[in-house]
Structure 1
């Protein structure tokens, strides 16, 4: 039998352990930012949970923000200058007639699992991106390639006829339907990225929409970072890819993407030390940060237009007079002056002004008298007989405020009643694709600095059209622009196209955006970038710059 006093030392030991645990528990816990500064891990917000990380299927900006860290195309966008720079291809040249481009790949390119990739990988990835069964909504940007459109439409079954040819393992030749000076810019887009076909073949096939390859554990990329975690609606973690061609020059050890649809939640996370960078900021907080913490606030330029799509297959929006009445009853200047506080500009046209030397010459105006006349001519005087229209949108503060203002304008000027339906991004995208809406609140960020990237949105059956609108005159103007022999002729054709668009109005532009966001002082290399795409390999963290924030 144990002596009765034998339990006493154990009780004393337990008490000492309890005191130690209490002391540890009372010690201040490091925030995610503090740990990130020490470990070289950047924490940033994205506006939505990604729908997909498959480069050939992604269309949402939040998806592409992650994808550009994981993959690299033949060419790349320099986030500091918005210029096109070498990516997987170290150089390229074009023929004198502009119809043949030859890309020279770097030696030793590898996937993040160490598997080599070469010109054949790129060629076979183009096969997938253009495959009719994949149905990529972004495939249309590749249609300048010879026979690409016909292959995507199923008119040509054999990819041999398409103008993507392997010359040798390090040389890829692309033949075009017509001269396309923007080809290097087009090739920076995810739809032109290579995909790890060796992985896709193991998991269900290369042309299989249900293939589960694009997730943590199976997603293999060729970019500066590799996906290691994906906790839905929580975070995605991408760690430095040791097989990237310049891995030694990548300063960050990891990037953690945090999805936040709500900008107020983002700001709270920033204040709590959970984020280095937000993707937005509540409009009501901008002035406070301008006054009390300007060093944390950024209002960067943004190559973006916010607009509303009309479902032109649904009455009464199948009537151009109704669409035009709605467009003319919106006071865009009032939106910019009294609703938006981040430096956004009224958008009387789709294409942002001075886009590569182009500005639309026929802007929309605010004309409520003409709007009422048009509505009456369409059979709805003072809105009589006009059913309530539903506007679908995502759960974003800026969208809610703008739509509420427009709702009041339409009620006051036209007698029109509208209902605002807030939907998660996945549902909103699905409803747009299926034309399951009346009016959809949307926005577009230019893929490259050219009017084509905006105007091509509304071409007949375009992957991002989502309005049901088809207009032969519009399509013809864009086709002539693509084949124009000189810049003046090209821009003149774009003028024709945008004039037609702003007459028929399958959409109505609202404002040109800016990028209001918060950024901590220890982040280095985050330069203003109107296209907003970056690969993160040029970023770094300087822990010595960390300081207690002077928050408003």
Structure 2
């Protein structure tokens, strides 16, 4: 976004979106009250020492963009995902050890065949005071699978029995393997044993929603006064494209372990302005995961030792629209992919320890450590371009446009790649940038030739990066590419219980993906940021998610 994109989530690692966004606006800082002294100063008796002043528990951050939604069933980007993780709890929640722990579910049992999970829902309430029940989970999951909802993340629920069939109109929603046995008991039946299922439950598409709220207002998730969640915080203020304020949710089941009273977000699109606000004391944090650091400032920030950098399970790539010439030709797609100098981009622009991506799956779950092609293979690129143009019967390429969402970092990467394509292939490429929400809609509608996107893992398994491209009309595909062999390999992997054999199947699938090249991998993400030393307890996961539940001001 977790992760889309960019799901749909950053520093120049995530650059505001991995399926993630960007935005503009400003928010006034919340300064602590001035210290006061009492007494007339005339007494000779030493005054007792004043008690230590309690630090206001207010965290001030920047969102590089307006979150497109705060609805867990519809969100597909990391900006929305960060707000949703703060305002909702799934059955599980990822802890500081990067493992799933009890959250809305206080306990569970698993059948011997690993196909049936039974969850005990703990006693807790929605932020509006309604009780959270097992029915709310059943409703939320079936709502996301309902074709009428048009959730681009519905495929994350395909692990549930009949989830895929229901989403594709081949089965009834009543046939989906999730059922509230009573208010406190949720039974879930799976298609196949899924070893990462408990981790997946901590992802937003599996979060509950309040049926009464959702059914009463189609726009419930877009305004502070109508948004209802069950997480550690709730939305107090949402001034669109200006600021967003979260406050502690007193109805949260674990409220005693939530230390922050408020999280105040500015919405400033310019990275230099954001960094200045941090340096002026108006923000407590700048950069990833909800924004990015300005590229020009990175060398000095590195030298000062202030910048924190962390590798995450994510890939920055460009997508081809494989239905539009000339990128309906695989050789031309490969030519553009091979002609990029990834290491040069990292050394001269990104500068925060990224790795060149010559495959789709990131290092933490790598299937082929050697990659599938060479970085900066210019001779092969020229040869493939010539062959591809002959196959299309053209002597000159049509006008080509590279699209990206507004961000200084995305712009610099696009300009560098534009220059490389001109130098290495003799190709002129026009650049086009759009505001994040508009950009995302155009990408989904096929209104692009080459478009940037990133993907952060929703869970730590290669299938999460490959299943994006299983179906031509899949919610986060956008490339319009589909390959029967690729689909069959992914289906086989779901049935294979031997981990080594499953890894080989998935490696074969990634090979098919890279042979057809509907996407152009560029680099594997890191996240970089600067923070005030007094900010403690912010949890940054290996998947690029951020959780402020345990954060506090020292």
Same fold at TM > 0.5: yes
1:122 alignment partner, one of 137, 151, 173: 137
What is the Cα deviation at residue 275 of structure 1? 1.0
Q: Counterpart of 2:385?
A: 375
1:273 and 2:281 equivalent?
yes
1:216 Cα deviation from its structure 2 partner: 0.8
1:7-62 deviation per Cα after TM superposition (whole angstroms, max 9, x unaligned): xxxxxxxxxxxxxxxxxxxxxxx953546994311111222111111111111111
Rounded Cα–Cα distance in structure 2 between residues aligned with 1:487 and 1:519 = 40
Provide, for residues 168-197 of structure 1, a one-character-per-residue CA deviation record: whole Å limited to 9, x for no partner: 322211111111111112211111111111
**Residue number among 374, 395, 402 corresponding to 2:406 in the alignment:** 395
Change (3 A) 1:56 1:429: same
1:56-95 C-alpha deviation (Å, 9 max, x unpaired): 11111111111111111111112x2221111101222322
Question: Contact between 1:324 and 1:371, CA under 8 Å: does it hold in 2?
Answer: yes
Greater Rg by CA? 1
Name 1:190's counterpart in structure 2: 204
1:73 to 75, 90, 100: 90
Paired residues of 1:199 and 1:213 also in contact (CA < 8 A): no
TM-superposed deviation, 1:430: 0.8
Deviations 1:203-254 (A, max 9, x none): 3xxxxxx444542101111000111110011111111101100112210001
The gaps in structure 1 that reach 5 residues or longer are 1-29, 204-209, 543-552
Once residues 343 and 299 of structure 2 are traced to their aligned partners in structure 1, the CA distance between those partners, rounded to angstroms, is 20
Asked if residue 234 in structure 1 is aligned to residue 248 in structure 2, the reply is no
Cα shift at 1:429: 0.1
1:361 and 1:495 map into 2 onto residues whose CA distance is: 12
Distance 1:488 1:451 in 2: 13
**Residues 1:304 and 2:317 aligned together:** no
Per the alignment, residue 15 of structure 1 pairs with: none
Residue 131 of structure 2 corresponds to residue 102 of structure 1 = no
Q: Alpha carbons of 1:243 and 1:429: their partners in 2 closer, same or farther (altered >3 Å)?
A: same
Q: CA deviation at 1:450?
A: 1.2
Match of 1:475 in 2: 487
Q: 2:352 aligns with which of 314, 338, 342?
A: 342
User: What is the aligned counterpart of 2:464 among 453, 472, 477?
Assistant: 453
d(CA) in 1 for partners of 2:197 and 2:31? 39
CA distance in 1, matches of 2:55, 2:197: 41
| Equivalent residue in structure 1 for 2:512, among 476, 500, 508 | 500
- After TM superposition, where is structure 1 displaced by more than 4 Å over at least 4 residues in a row? 33-38
Q: Which whole-Å CA distance do the structure 2 matches of 1:66 and 1:527 have between them?
A: 14
Kindly tell me: are residues 290 and 379 of structure 1, through their superposed partners in 2, closer, same or farther at Cα, counting changes over 3 Å?
A: closer
Residue number in structure 2 paired with 1:418: 429
Whole-angstrom distance in 1 between the partners of 2:503 and 2:524: 21
Structure 1 residue 168 and structure 2 residue 166: aligned? no
Q: Deviations for 1:435-468, whole angstroms, at most 9, x for unmatched residues?
A: 0000001111111111111111111122110111
Instruction: Provide closer, same or farther for how the CA distance between residues 47 and 145 of structure 1 changes in structure 2, counting only shifts above 3 A.
Output: same
Which of the numbers 315, 321, 335 marks the counterpart of 2:331? Answer: 321
Q: What's the CA shift for 1:361?
A: 5.1
Tell me how far 1:528 sits from its aligned partner: 4.4
2:156 counterpart of 1:141: yes
Partner of 2:548: 536
Over 3 Å counting, the alpha-carbon distance change for 1:150 and 1:60 in structure 2 is: same
Name the residue aligned to 2:11.
none
> Post-superposition shift, 1:410?
1.0
- Asked if the contact 2:399–2:429 (Cα under 8 Å) also holds between the matched residues in 1, the reply is yes
Do the aligned partners of 1:281 and 1:517 also contact (CA within 8 Å) in 2?
yes
Q: Take 1:220 and 1:338, find their aligned partners in 2: how far apart are those partners?
A: 45
The residue number in structure 2 matching 1:511 is 523
SS in 2 for 1:133: helix
Structure 2 equivalent of residue 248 of structure 1: 256
> Does structure 2 conserve the Cα–Cα contact (< 8 Å) formed by 1:380 and 1:386?
no
CA contact (8 A) 1:301 1:529 kept: no
- 1:202 maps to which of 194, 213, 216: 216
1:181 aligns to what? 195
- Which residue is 1:404 aligned to? 415
C-alpha RMSD over aligned residues: 1.9
Q: Which moved more, 1:167-176 or 1:59-68?
A: 167-176
- Give the 3-state SS of the residue equivalent to 2:61 in structure 1: strand
Could you tell me how far apart the structure 2 residues matched to 1:525 and 1:35 are?
24
Contact 1:185 1:448 in 2 (8 A): yes
Instruction: Please state whether the residue corresponding to 2:113 is helix, strand or coil.
Output: coil
Structure 1 residue 360: Cα displacement: 5.2
Higher alpha-carbon deviation: 449-458 or 64-73: 449-458
Distance 2:407 2:359 in 1: 23
CA deviation map 1:507-537 (0-9, x unaligned)? 0100111111110011011254322323312
- Verify the 8 A CA contact 2:538 2:547 in the aligned structure 1: no
Match 1:45 to one of 29, 53, 62: 62
Residue 311 of structure 1, CA deviation = 0.3
Indicate the residue corresponding to 2:372 in structure 1: 363
Aligned residue for 2:199, secondary structure, equals: helix
Q: Is the 8 A contact 1:33 1:273 kept in 2?
A: no
For 2:354 and 2:32, locate their aligned partners in 1 and report how far apart those are by CA, in whole Å: 33
TM-score under structure 1 normalisation? Answer: 0.87
TM-score, normalization: structure 2?
Answer: 0.87
For 1:289 and 1:238, locate their aligned partners in 2 and report how far apart those are by CA, in whole Å: 29
Bigger relative contact order, structure 1 or 2, given CA contacts below 8 A and separation 6+? 2
| SS of equivalent to 2:138 | helix
Residue 167 of structure 1 and its aligned partner are, at CA, apart by 2.4
Q: Give, in angstroms, the shift of residue 255 of structure 1.
A: 1.1
CA distance in 1, matches of 2:195, 2:316: 27
Tell me the matched-pair count: 500
